[in-house]
Structure 1
Amino acid sequence: MNYLEKIKRLYQLSKAEHSGFSETEIISVEQSLNIKLPAVLHEYYLAIGKNKTVNDSHNRLLSPNNFYFTEDRYLVFYEENQGVVQWGIKETDLHLDNPSVWGNYDTVHESDWQQETQTLENFFLSMSIYYGTLGGLLYHANSFSPVASETVKFIQRNRSEVSEISWERQKIYTDHYFEVISLSFDEAGECTAVFVGTSLEERFEKILDLPGIDWSYTSYEDMGEDYETED
């Protein structure tokens, strides 16, 4: 599966799902900025650029007519929900099909661009998972209590690591992108938090039954009586 197929499966979008911008809208922006968008950025906007569940559940994907260049020549296309952080592509990388994405964690006085992902594909996959577990996905939960090593090992044995967007302090696991589990680790390698998400209730129930996790929150809490589960 490519990155778009993974996102569509995770959010249970049909293969024929079209919730993107038109070719005309994208070309218009390219002409106004006198640029050619990277192939992956173009593809993503055409396919699901207008899908608010995927792109606007926490931080936000900018519409093409809101693209802008910073003074240090990064094309910004994604923003943190309060505008504090921006994500963009170096102007000198726009000719690449699948360039790196950089995050600007600046102060009021100066920019501080740091490489977020090596590729656009990884950026979109990462954001869909990260924000999915924070509320973008219909079923989501988290725990901020220490997790036993046996539970961590069970997850690692029964799911595949999404290695392209994992790192030593935050590892992502999935079962063929029908669900995702994100584990946070401290400097000693101990698991200190869990974030999970899926679009399928049956899978969510099985995740909640994982041994040794004291859930701090589940999305059932905001779904009303019809979704209340028995203790």
Structure 2
Amino acid sequence: MDYLQKIRRLYNLSAEVDFGYPVEEIIALELRLGIILPAELKNYFLNLGKNEAINFSYNRLLTPAKEIDFSNDGYLMIYEENQAVVSWGIKKEDLKLASPSVWGNACTEENPDWYLETDSIESFFLLMAVYNGTFGGLKYHANYFGNVGPGILQVIEKYWTTVPEISYEGQKVYTDDFYELVSLSFDEKGNCEAIFIGSSDEKRFDEILDTIVVDWSYTSYEDED
């Protein structure tokens, strides 16, 4: 599966339904900025760019018509953290690549501090689909904040498979063939301090809750009461 198929499966989206921006809107963006978008960025906009759950439920994809633009120091800005603390962009000189790296800035535009977020567009949008999914984009989601002991970690590693392209020291993402996911956050000392889970399938979600035995801080069932 490519990354678009993984996201569609995770969010239970029909392959027959179009969730993309019209090609005319993407052409208008290129004309406005005087650029050609990287092929994979364009591909994402045309396939999944307008889906609310994937792109706007927590962190936010910038819209082509008005919001996508260059930063003062030459990054094409494409995504924004939910409280606008972090923003993500692509180096102008990398726009010629089909799938350039995506960089994050946790400081101001006037005093930026860029760091490498992902090596490719595909990994970036898959990562955002995970973030947004566990924070409300997926119908069934939950989180736990607290110490996660080695026994729980062993259970997770037994039943779910790591997604290497979006896992790193501070975060590890696991999945069962992208029908469900488990995301772990680690502190600077390597201690696991949070679990985030999500699925579009209620039965699978219940099985995750039963398998990972913690006192969940929140589950989406609370919103149904």
TM-score normalised per structure 2:
0.95
Give the AA of the match of 1:6: K
- Does residue 42 in structure 1 map to residue 42 in structure 2? yes
Alpha-carbon distance in 2 for matches of 1:73, 1:3: 27
Instruction: Identify if the C-alpha distance between structure 1 residues 103 and 145 changes in structure 2 by more than 3 Å, giving closer, same or farther.
Output: same
Give the AA of the match of 2:28: S
- Does residue 128 in structure 1 map to residue 129 in structure 2? yes
Give the AA of the match of 1:129: V
Instruction: Identify if the C-alpha distance between structure 1 residues 148 and 106 changes in structure 2 by more than 3 Å, giving closer, same or farther.
Output: closer
Give the AA of the match of 2:41: L
- Does residue 22 in structure 1 map to residue 22 in structure 2? yes
Q: Which structure 2 residues correspond to residues 1-231 of structure 1 after superposition, within 5 A? A: 1-65=1-65, 66-107=67-108, 109-224=110-225
Unaligned runs of 5+ in 1: 225-231
What's the CA shift for 1:174?
A: 0.2
Alpha-carbon distance in 1 for matches of 2:215, 2:120: 35
What's the CA shift for 1:74?
A: 0.5
Alpha-carbon distance in 2 for matches of 1:104, 1:82: 13
| Alpha carbons 1:58, 1:131 under 8 Å: kept | yes
Query: Equivalent residue of 1:196, what SS?
Result: strand
Q: Which moved more, 1:58-67 or 1:201-210?
A: 58-67
Alpha-carbon distance in 1 for matches of 2:173, 2:182: 6
| Alpha carbons 2:71, 2:109 under 8 Å: kept | no
Alpha-carbon distance in 2 for matches of 1:85, 1:72: 16
| Alpha carbons 1:166, 1:172 under 8 Å: kept | yes
What's the CA shift for 1:167?
A: 0.9
| Alpha carbons 2:162, 2:174 under 8 Å: kept | yes
Query: Equivalent residue of 1:64, what SS?
Result: coil
Aligned-residue CA RMSD (Å): 1.4
Give the ranges of 4+ consecutive aligned residues of structure 1 lying more than 4 Å apart after TM superposition: none
Instruction: Identify if the C-alpha distance between structure 1 residues 114 and 63 changes in structure 2 by more than 3 Å, giving closer, same or farther.
Output: same
What's the CA shift for 1:212?
A: 3.1
Instruction: Identify if the C-alpha distance between structure 1 residues 44 and 108 changes in structure 2 by more than 3 Å, giving closer, same or farther.
Output: closer
CA-to-partner distance for each residue in 1:62-87, whole Å, 9 max, x for gaps?
11122111111101111123333221
Query: Equivalent residue of 2:32, what SS?
Result: helix
> Considering only CA atoms, is the larger Rg found in Structure 1 or Structure 2?
1
Q: Give % identity.
A: 53
| Alpha carbons 1:8, 1:14 under 8 Å: kept | yes
What's the CA shift for 1:114?
A: 1.2
**Match for residue 229 of structure 1?**
none
Query: Equivalent residue of 1:209, what SS?
Result: helix
| Alpha carbons 1:147, 1:212 under 8 Å: kept | no
